[in-house]
A = this chain, B = another copy of it.
Amino acid sequence: MPDAAPQPAFVLVRPQMGENIGAAARAMWNFGLDRMRVVAPRDGWPSASAVAMASGAGWLLDEAMLVGDLPAAVGDCHYVYATTARGRELTKPIFTPEEAMRDAARRVAEGQKTAILFGPERSGLENDDVVRANAIITVPVNPRFPSLNLAQCVLLTAYEWRRAADALPGAHVHMHNTQWADQVELEALATHYDDTMMQAGFFYPEHKAAIMRQTLRNFWSRMPLTQADTRLLHGILRQMVRWKDRGSGGA
């Protein structure tokens, strides 16, 4: 079940509520992270409420490393990040989650072990914890409402890890079923509408007919049409003509 690829450890430092530990496990596993370490959980370990909240991510808790203090949790790591809104008086690099996870992805790719520290729910990491980290991660929240909870902070960091690790080539728009219409198909569609609307007397009055036809032709070229779209649009027009041909008596 675990992901074999190297990844950062997420270290929950003195977490309080089991529910929040479980929610943190879920948030990690949502983005494929499964190395949890837990430092001195307030309510003991294992935690039934953590397991209940974790549901499908409960196995992260079974395999989590439980330690008594922070140095023991990060002893094997080469580079440690501390998530905190404080610590700005410490001389230390301050990263956004995106910057930090890019940095971590690079380090992990080079064979380094990394860890991310998350503080207790109520108070966050203390400066005694933060000084043990190499860098700080601060989520750029609304300064008028900086109320991220533990699982949310884990979620955003895990999300950024996934983005950095996947190193996706950006800004691709994926569309299911996309067989784009080519120019021959587009022209056939435009001609079908032009001919039929001509017969239907749409391009009226006479002196505006040329510009109306141009507008309609331009319309088709401006639309991102698939082959299926052109079939739909041909079908609509054919059906309208059939309806007409059934005659006024049959309508």
Shortest distance between the CB of A191 and any CB in chain B (Å) = 15
A173 at the interface (CB under 8 A from B): yes
A235 to B212 Cα, complex, angstroms: 11
Give the oligomeric copy count.
2
A42 at the interface (CB under 8 A from B): no
> A245 to B236, Cβ gap below 8 A?
no
A245 to B222 Cα, complex, angstroms: 31
Contact of A145 among B30, B176, B237 (CB under 8 A): B30
A4: chain B residues at CB < 8 Å are none
A251 at the interface (CB under 8 A from B): yes
A239 to B88 Cα, complex, angstroms: 29
User: From A152, which residue of chain B is reached at the shortest CB distance?
Assistant: B155
Shortest distance between the CB of A16 and any CB in chain B (Å) = 18
Contact of A29 among B94, B145, B216 (CB under 8 A): B145
> B175 to A99, Cβ gap below 8 A?
no
> A94 to B224, Cβ gap below 8 A?
no
A78: chain B residues at CB < 8 Å are none
A222 to B247 Cα, complex, angstroms: 34
A147: chain B residues at CB < 8 Å are 26, 30, 55-56
> B94 to A202, Cβ gap below 8 A?
no
Within A1-60, which residues are at the interface with B (CB < 8 Å)? Answer: 26-27, 29-32, 55-57
A57: chain B residues at CB < 8 Å are 145
A201 at the interface (CB under 8 A from B): yes
A interface residues with partner B (beta carbon < 8 Å)? 26-27, 29-32, 55-57, 88-96, 98-99, 102, 139-142, 144-148, 152, 155-156, 159, 162-163, 166, 168, 170-178, 193, 197, 199-202, 215-216, 219, 222-224, 226, 228-229, 232, 235-237, 239-249, 251
